[in-house]
Structure 1
Amino acid sequence: MALDIVRLLELASWRAFDADGAGRVLAGSDESGSVQLVELADGTATPLTALPGAVTGRYVPGERAAVVQHDTDGDERGQLSLLRLPRSAPAALDDLEPLVRDPDHVHRLLDVLPDRIVYSTNRRNGVDFDVVIRSVVTGEERVVYDGGGMVLDVAVSPDSRYAALTVPAVPPLSDRVLLVDTMPATEAEHVVALTDPADPARHTHLGWLPDDSGLVVTTNSGRDRTGIARLDPRTGERTWLVTSADHDLSGWLSPDGRTLLVHANDDGTSRLALHDAASGERQRAVRLPADGWCGYPLPAPVWSPDSRSVALSFSGPAVPGDALLVDVATGEARPLTDSTAQLGADLPVAPTTHRVPTRDGERIPCFVYAPPEPSPETAGSAVLIVHGGPESQSVRSFSPIAQALVAQGHAVLVPNVRGSTGYGKRWYSADDGRNRLEAVADLADLHDWLPALGLDPRRAALWGGSYGGYMVLAGLAFQPERWAAGVDIVGISSLLTFLENTAAYRRAHREREYGSLTADADFLREASPLSRASAISAPLFVLHGANDPRVPLSEAEQIASAVRAKGLECELRVYPDEGHGLAKRANRLDAYPRALTFLRRHLAG
C-alpha cells in the first residue's frame, strides 16, 4: 500500500512522559486519534485515559497514581487531575479526581514530589504565572513565587527548602534563574537572582545536586553554543561541566547526582552520551535505534527515581515515534514500542542535508526530501515547509506532511531560517525585533536556489504553521513574484493585531521577540503580511482552530477576507474543537488531504 496522506496520518506514535522505580513508563499514544496516557510495562501497553483532547502526565512518587494535565478543545487552559492506578479501563473525565480545576485560567504542571505537586497558574491577574505547591493529600496550597513573568522551569531542592526557577530575562529568548526560599524568615529574603536579567542567555533544564550544594543548568551565558554548567546557589558562580564549540548541548542530571545525560544537537540529529556529573567526563555513548531526534518538541528525557534508566521519546525520518528506555549501565536504548511496524515495506524518504547560500554570505541549514519517482504532473515542483516558533528547529524526525508531499511528487525543502535554534545564539538572534524581515528574505534565497536542485522556481509553494504561517503569508506578500501558492496553518497575518488580540499572558511573553506595541507599532505594521495583502497574487489555503489562545482566529479571518477581496482563491477552514494547531486525527484527516489537493492543483506542470 502506498504512503498516501490518509495512511500517513493514521500512523500511531508514542512518547515517554515519566518512569517509575519498577520499570514502568508513563507514555502518550495517539492511537485513539489524540494523545492519551498509556502505561508500558513488561511488554504490555495499558491504556489509561480516554479524554476528549490531548493529555500529558507524570507519576506520583511512591504511589500507584499519576497526575494528568488536560484542557478543553485545545484552549490551553490546563487543568490538573489525579488518576489512580492500575486501571481496568481507560479513565474518562469523571473518573479523575480533581486537583486544580479552574477553567478560566491556565495551570501547568511543573513537577511532582512525594504527596505534592508543583504547578504554575495565571489566576491572580491573567498575565503573570505564580508557582504553587499543593498537597495531593489535603489540598493545602502554598504560593512560593508571585514575582511576575511566565515561569518556564522549576526544580525543588531535595530538602524542599528552596525552589530554583527560570523566568524570561530582558533580551529575546533569554531566561534568568531565581532562587526562592519556600520558608523565608522575611519577605526580603524570599527571592534571590542567580543570573543577570540583562544577560542574553538561555538557562534551562535545572537540576539540584542531592546535597543542595549546587544546581546543574543548560546555558549559553557568555557563549554562542549551549553547554552544561554547575551553578552555586549562594553566589551564582558558574562552573562549566560539558561544552562544545560545534554543537548546542543540553543536560539532565540523575536523581542521585552522579550522572548527566548529555544531548548534542548535530544539525537536527540527536547524539546522546552519559557523563560523570562531578567532572563532566564522558563515560559512554547512548546507542539510539537510528539517526533521529529525541529533543523538543518531544517530551524531555526523564530519569527513573533510582537513576538506573532514562525514558526517551524518539522519532526519525522513518520512525513515526517511539518510547525508549536507556540502561545507564550499558548505554543501550531499548525500544518499548515499534511504530515502524505500521509502515510495512513502504519506507519513507530520508532527507539530505544542505547549506543554502544567502544574499549576505550566510548559509541556511536545509533538509531536502526528493521524490524517488516524481510523477509527470508534479515533477520539478517544490514545497518549502517553514517551522513555527520562531525559536524552534526543523529536525530529523518523522513528518507525515513532508512524506505525503514527496509521495505526491513534490520536492520538499525544510529550512532552518534565521531565528532557528540549534545553530547557536548568533543564528537564533538574527531575526529579533526589527530584523524580522531578514528571515523573510531567507525565503527568497531558498527560492533562488531551487534551480540548483533541478526544480522549477515557477512552481514553488510555502507551507507553515504558527510563526511558520506568518512566514508563508509574508513570503506571498513580500515576494509575490516567487510563490505559486501557500498553505497557512494558525499563522499570524499581522504582528500588530496578533499582539493586540492574543491572550494577555502570551502578549507579555512575545513582545520581547517581535517588538513592543508601544515602541514598535510602526515596524510591526510594516512587517505584517496584512499590510501588503494588495501585493499577494497566489492562491491561499488557511487552517485555524476556533479556540486558539496564541494566534486568534481573527488573524486567519482578516487575511482570508483581504485575499478574497482581490478575487483570488482562498479557502479558510475553521475547526471548532481545536486550538493552536490540529491535535485531533479526525480534523487532520479532513484538513490535510484538502491542502495537498490544493497544492497539487496549483503546482501541476
Structure 2
Amino acid sequence: MEATSEKTLLSYLKSYRAYEPSVIPGQQAITFLTNKTGLPQVWKWDDQASEVQQFIELPDRALSVNHSPSGMKTIIGSDINGNEKQQLYLICEGTTVEDLVVSKEHFHHFGGWSPDETKIAFSSNRRHPGYFDVYILDIATKKEEVVYLYNGNCNPICWTNDGKGLILNIADTNIDNSLYIFDLEKKELTKIGKENISARYHSIQLTKDGKKGYLVTDAGRDTLAIHSFTFDNPTELEQLSQIEKWDIEEIKLSPDEKLLAYTVNEGGTSRLRFYHIKHKSMFEASGLPSGVYSSLSWLDTEELVIEIKSAILPGDLWSADLKEQKTKRLTFVGENKDIHHLWTEPELCHYSSFDGLEVPYFLYGKKDYAQPVMIYVHGGPESQIRNEYNPVIQFLAAQGYAVVAPNVRGSMGYGRKYVQLDDVRKRMDAVADLKWLVEDLVRRGADPKKIGIMGRSYGGFMVLAAITHYPELWAAAVDIVGISHFKTFLENTGPWRRRLREKEYGSLKEDVDFFEEIAPLNHTDKIIAPLLIFHGRNDTRVPVSEAEQLNRDLENQGKEVELIVFEDEGHQTENIKNQIEMNTKIVAFMKKHLQ
C-alpha cells in the first residue's frame, strides 16, 4: 500500500465507538465501554462533567458492567487475551478492584444483584466443560453456593423483586430458549410461556410489585413481539404490540412503569418506539439519527439513553427526552473529523436466488458495479449485516470498490422461517445464494474477473465453501476465524457450544457423511483464488486448528495462501495493533488481486 492510503486506512481503523451504556442508579451518570485506549475499557459520562472520563482501568478487556441497585457497587467482567472466560471483579469505591468470582479456567455469566445487593447470581461451567450451573455468592463473606445444577447451557438473568427467586435462561437450540422462574427456597422451576413450543424469549422486564413481567417472544409467530405475563399464571402470555414483518428486539420498562421503550429492526435499521401500558397506545421517537439502536437504559422517568451506530457513526450514546420532546448526543467517541466526509451510507438492495427467494444486501459504493467488487459475508450464521460502521468496508468503498454485504438465507431479522432455511442439510443453499448474488452483480455490470470475498467466523466458512464449490467466481478470498470442516470444528469447539451448534449444523452422530461431503478441507484441490487467513490463538469458539489444518493442506499443494495467527486474541480481534495489521494486509491483498 502507498503511504498515503495506509495512513488513511489507519484513520478509519482508529474511529472508536461508545457502546453498552448502563445508567448508574441514583446518579445522572452513565458507564459505557469503548476501545479508544486500544482495548475495551469502562468509561463514564456525567452530566456535570465537561468530558467523558475513564471509570476504571483493567489489565485486559472489559466485557460487561453491572451496577448494584443503589449504584454504590459495580461488578465488571473481564477475560484474558480474548479467551472469553469472563471473571468478575468488584468495585466499591474509587479505583479499588477486588477479585470476586475468579476461576480462570472457567466461564462465568453474571446473573444479577439481589434487591438488597448483598448477593449476586452467576453461572459457571466449573463442574463440567459443557454444563453451566447456577451459583449465588454472598458479597460480604465471599461464600458461594450452587443452587441449581444443569447439564447444558443455563444462565440466570435477574432476581425476582422479592429476592426469593431467579429468572433463568436455558438454551434449547441455536436460536430458541426457555425462561423459567426458579424458586430459591423450594428449588422449583416454573416455565414462562407454554410448554413444547419452540421460541425465542428475550429482554425480560419485571414490575416492582413482583406481580407482572414483560418480554419479547416469537412463540406461535414468525417475528418477535411484545408480550406480558403474570407470576400467578406465567404460562399464559398476552400479546401487547407487534410488527407483522419485523422483529421487536429490545424493551425497557420506564422507572414509573408507564411506558415500554422498544426497538424495531426494519431490514437492518432500527426504529425507536414507546408503548403506553395503560392506554395501550404507541408513539414513535423522532430526531435521532438513522442507524441501529440498542442498550436502552432510562436515565429517569422522562429521559431514555440509547446506543446508536450506523455506517457513518461508529457508535455513541444519545438521549431522548420525552418531556421536552428533544434528542441529544451525549458522547462524541465515534467522531472522526478527518475522514467523516469520506464515509458513505449503504443502499439496501435485493436479488432473487436460485429458488426465487428474495435476498437483501447492503451496497457500498457506486451502483454501476463497474469497479472491483468485494462481497462481505457475516458470521453467526444467525446474525445479520446491519446499518453499522465497518472500517474496511468504508475504506474499500472510498478506494473505488463496490462492497456488497448480503443477508443470505439463515440470517436473523427476517423471521423464523428465513433463519431456518439453511439448517443442517440445507447448508449449501446459503452458499448457492452467494453464487446467484455474483451472477446478479455480473448482469448489472460487474467484471467477473474482479470479484473478491471475505468473512469472519461462520462467514469464514461461507468464504471457504464458496471458493471450493464455486471456485471460478472468485479472484481473491479472506477467511477470518473460519470453519474449514464441521466435523473437526464440533469435535474441538467448547463443549458448552457443541450441543447448540449441532442444532444448526447437524450432529457428529447423524451427519458426518454430510460434513465430509461439503467440507472445504476436502475440496482444497478446487481452490483457484489466492487465500488470506487470520485466526486468534485463544479462540474458544472456532479453534485455531481449523485454520492451521487448512493452511497446511494448501501449502502442501503449492497454493497461494498465507496464515496470520494472533497470539493474544480469541474469536474477536480486539487489540488495535492487531486490527491495524489484519486490515492493512486485507486491503493490500484485495488491491493486489482485484485491481
Cα deviation code 1:116-147 (max 9, x no counterpart): 32222111212121222323233233433323
Find the partner of 2:350 among 355, 358, 380.
355
Give, in angstroms, the shift of residue 364 of structure 1.
Answer: 0.6
Q: How does 1:447-466 map to 2 (within 5 A)?
A: 447-466=438-457
Question: In the alignment, does 2:549 pair up with 1:558?
Answer: yes
8 Å CA contact 1:16, 1:25 repeated in 2: no
- SS of the aligned residue for 1:346 comes to helix
8 Å CA contact 1:163, 1:179 repeated in 2: yes
8 Å CA contact 2:342, 2:398 repeated in 1: no
Partner Cα distance (1:329, 1:163) in 2: 34
Deviates more, 1:221-230 or 1:108-117: 108-117
RMSD: 2.1
2:17 matched to which residue of 1? 13
Q: Measured at CA, do residues 269 and 152 of structure 1 come closer, stay the same or move farther in structure 2, by a change above 3 Å?
A: farther
Q: Measured at CA, do residues 275 and 153 of structure 1 come closer, stay the same or move farther in structure 2, by a change above 3 Å?
A: farther
Give, in angstroms, the shift of residue 18 of structure 1.
Answer: 0.8
Deviates more, 1:127-136 or 1:356-365: 127-136
2:159 matched to which residue of 1? 156
Partner Cα distance (1:372, 1:8) in 2: 23
Partner Cα distance (1:285, 1:143) in 2: 44
Question: In the alignment, does 2:214 pair up with 1:216?
Answer: yes
Residue identity matched to 1:321:
G
Partner Cα distance (1:405, 1:469) in 2: 19
- SS of the aligned residue for 1:124 comes to strand
Partner Cα distance (2:447, 2:93) in 1: 57
Question: In the alignment, does 2:512 pair up with 1:521?
Answer: yes
1:120 matched to which residue of 2? 123
Question: In the alignment, does 2:534 pair up with 1:543?
Answer: yes
Find the partner of 1:77 among 60, 78, 85.
85
Q: Measured at CA, do residues 153 and 537 of structure 1 come closer, stay the same or move farther in structure 2, by a change above 3 Å?
A: farther
Partner Cα distance (1:575, 1:98) in 2: 28
Number of aligned positions between the proteins: 582
Q: Measured at CA, do residues 464 and 279 of structure 1 come closer, stay the same or move farther in structure 2, by a change above 3 Å?
A: farther
Find the partner of 1:168 among 143, 156, 171.
171
2:396 matched to which residue of 1? 405
Identity, % of aligned positions? 32
Q: How does 1:344-383 map to 2 (within 5 A)?
A: 344=338, 346-371=341-366, 380-383=371-374
Give, in angstroms, the shift of residue 288 of structure 1.
Answer: 5.2
- SS of the aligned residue for 1:443 comes to helix
Deviates more, 1:584-593 or 1:7-16: 7-16
8 Å CA contact 1:15, 1:312 repeated in 2: no
Residue identity matched to 1:355:
H
Partner Cα distance (2:465, 2:513) in 1: 17
- SS of the aligned residue for 1:445 comes to helix
TM-score by length of 2: 0.93
2:332 matched to which residue of 1? 338
Partner Cα distance (1:118, 1:417) in 2: 38
- SS of the aligned residue for 2:42 comes to strand
Partner Cα distance (2:218, 2:456) in 1: 28
2:305 matched to which residue of 1? 311
Give, in angstroms, the shift of residue 419 of structure 1.
Answer: 0.8
Cα deviation code 1:580-604 (max 9, x no counterpart): 0211111011111011101111111
Give, in angstroms, the shift of residue 196 of structure 1.
Answer: 4.9
Partner Cα distance (2:164, 2:145) in 1: 13
Give, in angstroms, the shift of residue 458 of structure 1.
Answer: 2.0
Residue identity matched to 1:45:
V
Residue identity matched to 2:182:
V
Give, in angstroms, the shift of residue 279 of structure 1.
Answer: 5.2
Question: In the alignment, does 2:181 pair up with 1:179?
Answer: yes
Cα deviation code 1:280-310 (max 9, x no counterpart): 421x322353110123xxxx32334x54433
Question: In the alignment, does 2:36 pair up with 1:31?
Answer: yes
Question: In the alignment, does 2:56 pair up with 1:49?
Answer: yes
Residue identity matched to 1:535:
K
Give, in angstroms, the shift of residue 247 of structure 1.
Answer: 1.3
- SS of the aligned residue for 2:472 comes to coil
Q: How does 1:275-294 map to 2 (within 5 A)?
A: 275-278=275-278, 280-282=280-282, 284-287=283-286, 289-294=288-293
Residue identity matched to 2:313:
V
8 Å CA contact 1:176, 1:196 repeated in 2: no
2:420 matched to which residue of 1? 429
8 Å CA contact 2:29, 2:44 repeated in 1: yes
Question: In the alignment, does 2:199 pair up with 1:201?
Answer: yes
Deviates more, 1:337-346 or 1:390-399: 337-346
- SS of the aligned residue for 2:431 comes to helix
Find the partner of 1:141 among 135, 140, 144.
144
Deviates more, 1:543-552 or 1:8-17: 8-17
Residue identity matched to 2:223:
R
Question: In the alignment, does 2:228 pair up with 1:230?
Answer: yes
8 Å CA contact 1:60, 1:112 repeated in 2: yes
2:134 matched to which residue of 1? 131
Gaps of 5+ in 2: none
8 Å CA contact 2:110, 2:156 repeated in 1: no
Question: In the alignment, does 2:588 pair up with 1:597?
Answer: yes
Give, in angstroms, the shift of residue 255 of structure 1.
Answer: 4.5
TM-score by length of 1: 0.92
Cα deviation code 1:414-439 (max 9, x no counterpart): 11111111111111111111111111
Give, in angstroms, the shift of residue 445 of structure 1.
Answer: 1.1
1:64 matched to which residue of 2? 72
Partner Cα distance (1:568, 1:73) in 2: 32
1:267 matched to which residue of 2? 267
- SS of the aligned residue for 1:294 comes to strand
Cα deviation code 1:293-347 (max 9, x no counterpart): 123xxxx32334x544333221111111102233343554422112453234623
Give, in angstroms, the shift of residue 484 of structure 1.
Answer: 1.2
8 Å CA contact 1:541, 1:570 repeated in 2: yes
Gaps of 5+ in 1: 88-94
Q: Measured at CA, do residues 533 and 279 of structure 1 come closer, stay the same or move farther in structure 2, by a change above 3 Å?
A: farther
Partner Cα distance (1:527, 1:597) in 2: 30
Partner Cα distance (1:130, 1:326) in 2: 39
- SS of the aligned residue for 2:270 comes to strand
Give, in angstroms, the shift of residue 79 of structure 1.
Answer: 0.4
Partner Cα distance (2:292, 2:60) in 1: 25
Give, in angstroms, the shift of residue 412 of structure 1.
Answer: 0.2
- SS of the aligned residue for 2:126 comes to coil
Deviates more, 1:257-266 or 1:149-158: 149-158
8 Å CA contact 2:368, 2:445 repeated in 1: no
Question: In the alignment, does 2:297 pair up with 1:302?
Answer: yes
Give, in angstroms, the shift of residue 152 of structure 1.
Answer: 5.1
1:243 matched to which residue of 2? 242
8 Å CA contact 2:17, 2:334 repeated in 1: no
Residue identity matched to 2:286:
R
